[in-house]
Amino acid sequence: MEGCIFCKIVNGEIPSNKLYEDDKVYAFYDINPEAPTHFLVIPKDHIESANALNEKNVDIISHIFMVINKLVVDLGISDKGYRIVNNCGEDGGQTVNHLHFHVLGGRSLQWPPG
C-alpha cells in the first residue's frame, strides 16, 4: 500500500535489519527495541490491523506464529520465554497501520502493560 512504511520495508525501499523472509512474511528487528531481543513479523500483503482479518486472510496468522516459533529457537529465547504482542488501533497503541506482531525477549517482562 502506498505510503505504508512496512510495505516499503518489504519491497526494499526502506532498509531493515532482516531476520527472515519467505513468500508470505517478513521478519526484522525493531528500530527502537524495548527488550534485548525485539523483532517484528509482518505479512507481506498489506493488512491494516487485526481488525482487518477475515476468513480469506486469517491463515497468515498461523504461518506467522510458526515463523515466530522458529525464530525464537534460532535466537535462543524460546526456553526462558518471550512475549508476542499485537497492538491494534489507537487505544491499543498501534502506530504503524500494517499488521505486525512484536516478539520481545531476553529479559523478564512486566505485566500488566501500561
**Any idea which residues carry the catalytic annotation?**
100
Q: Which is nearer to ligand AMP, 1 or 31 (CB)?
A: 31
Note the residues at the interface with ligand AMP (CB under 6 A): 5, 14, 16, 28, 30-32, 87, 93-96
Q: Which is nearer to Zn ion, 64 or 72 (CB)?
A: 64
**Partner touching 96 among ligand AMP, Zn ion, none, CB below 5 to 8 Å by kind:** ligand AMP
Residue 111 CB-density burial (10 A; 0-12 exposed, 13-18 middle, 19+ buried): exposed
**Partner touching 1 among Zn ion, ligand AMP, none, CB below 5 to 8 Å by kind:** Zn ion
3-state helix, strand, coil in the chain (%, to 5): 25, 20, 55
Cα dihedral value 93, 97, 99, 101, nearest 10? -40
DSSP assignments along 5-39, one per residue: HHHHHHTTSS---EEEE-SSEEEEE-SS-SSSEEE
Q: Which is nearer to Zn ion, 81 or 89 (CB)?
A: 89
Does residue 5 belong to the site contacting Zn ion (CB under 5 A)? no
Does residue 100 belong to the site contacting Zn ion (CB under 5 A)? no
Q: Binders of Zn ion among 29-58, rule CB under 5 A?
A: 46
**Partner touching 87 among Zn ion, ligand AMP, none, CB below 5 to 8 Å by kind:** ligand AMP
Instruction: Give φ, ψ of 41 to 5 degrees.
Output: -120, 125
